[in-house]
Amino acid sequence: MGAGHDTVAGELARRAREQGHEAQVVDLLRLLPHGLGTAVRLFYRSSVRHFPWAYAGLYHALFRPGPGRRPSGVPLARLAGGRLTDLVERTGADVVVPVFHLAAQLTGHLRARGCLRPPSAVFVIDFAVHRQWLHPGNDLYLCLTDEAARDVGRSTAVPAETAGPVVAPGFLAPAAGAAEWRLRFERYAPGRPPVVLSAGAWGAASALEGTARLLTAAGFLPVVLCGRNERLRARLAGVPGTFVPDWVTDMPGLLRAARVLVDNAAGQTAVQALASGLPVVGYRPLPGHGREGVRRMAALGVSEIAPDAGALLHALRRLSADGAYRDRRTARGRELFRGDALARVTALAGMPSG
């Protein structure tokens, strides 16, 4: 649905090809007939950007964990079933790896009915596992954390394991581009610690201009990532003391050069920050799974959560300064990166893992 799903799928495919396997990335929404997938994507993007209360209601009704029967994503997902099974047969796929909850509903449905030959290994990219990820027909669930794996185990009989997050190798190694980013920040606002404000690929955030002004007044340099939302980029560029880059192609370098990430979604940018050794503070989270994920990250101790502006500034002052406090927080985040999702996927398919 968003760039985070694409990024994870792309990295898993890259690793598979590097080990000599064939890999194909498929957008499930493009498999839905009559342009339905495009409509679903536009509805979700518009809701998150402009009508967050609508998505909050949808999440409460369809996604929120808990007892009781609620509508599932199977009726929508199964519309793509014929195209997916045709693709699997045509390519001779040995395993299918959903990284999007609607895809997990479809593979579970097809596997349960004997319509999908290869096994399905669902990679849950969320810290908080909502109910639409879960279908008893799937063969394996791979999760970011032990807590998420336990949540899956309590809700379904499908095996669930901890694989840790998936990021490109550049986020876990020294970034050559960091020096250039530091120079750009210092030239723009000498002496001000750079703090990244991320609105995701779709540029969805609450009161981002106000947060940028708050940080500037407190002596920080807000570095605002607006994704592909050009209107948001134009508005933020008018906020004095705010650094607003175009679409960033060197995220490892930027994250290594910053001091803290202010995050609102617990998505792939937050995961990349943890891999880069950048402390994360959750603030004004998006509704639904964004809010749940931000809370779960903080409960795990890999990030902090700021309920108000005062708490945000307090967290930024502590985490932007070198010292034991910052070191403990970054070390806790990097502990997540201990598994090998691809090894479990290839094992499930009966292939050598390289």
**Which is nearest to 188 in space by CA: 146, 267, 235, 244?**
244
- Please indicate whether residue 65 or residue 331 has the higher confidence score (pLDDT): 331
Q: pLDDT for 12-24, tens place per residue? A: 999 999 999 999 9
pLDDT-derived band at 62, boundaries 50, 70, 90: confident
Query: What's the rounded mean pLDDT across residues 276-298?
Result: 93
Q: Is residue 61 pLDDT above 50, yes or no? A: yes
The region of weakest confidence among 47-61, 121-135, 160-174 is 47-61
Pick the residue with more confidence: 53 or 217? Answer: 217
Mean pLDDT along residues 163-172: 96
**Residues 186-206 pLDDT 10s:** 999 999 999 999 988 878 888
The whole-number average pLDDT for the span 284-302 is 91
What's the whole-number mean pLDDT along residues 207-215? 96
Confidence band (pLDDT; 50, 70, 90) for 70? Answer: low
SS3 letters across the chain = CCHHHHHHHHHHHHHHHHCCCCCCCCCHHHHCHHHHHHHHHHHHHHHHHHCHHHHHHHHHHHHCCCCCCCCCCHHHHHHHHHHHHHHHHHHCCCCECCCCHHHHHHHHHHHHCCCCCCCEEEECCCCCCCHHHCCCCCCEEEECCHHHHHHHHHHCCCCEEECCCCCCHHHCCCCCCHHHHHHHHHHHCCCCCEEEEECCCCCCCCCHHHHHHHHHHCCCEEEEECCCCHHHHHHHHCCCCCECCCCCCCHHHHHHHCCEEEECCCCHHHHHHHHCCCCEEEECCCCCHHHHHHHHHHHHCCCEEECCHHHHHHHHHHHHCCCHHHHHHHHHHHCCCCCCHHHHHHHHCCCCCC
pLDDT band at 350 (very low <50, low <70, confident <90, very high): confident
Domain ranges of the chain: 3-164+338-348, 171-334
Mean pLDDT to the nearest integer, 237-263: 96
Q: Confidence band (pLDDT; 50, 70, 90) for 71?
A: low
The pLDDT assigned to 193 comes to 98
pLDDT of residue 283: 97
Average pLDDT of span 172-198: 96
Q: What is the pLDDT, as a whole number, of residue 299?
A: 96
pLDDT for the residue 354: 45
In which band, very low, low, confident or very high, does the pLDDT at 4 lie, cut at 50, 70 and 90? confident
Assess whether pLDDT exceeds 90 at residue 107: yes
pLDDT of residue 352: 62
Q: Which residues contact 322 (CB under 8 A, 6 or more apart)?
A: none
Each residue of 216-240: pLDDT tens digit? 999 999 999 998 899 999 999 999 9
Calculate the average pLDDT of the chain: 92
* 171-334 classified as CATH 3.40.50.2000: yes
Residue 94 — very low, low, confident or very high, per pLDDT cuts 50/70/90? very high
Which of 34-38, 87-91, 168-172 comes out lowest in average pLDDT? 34-38
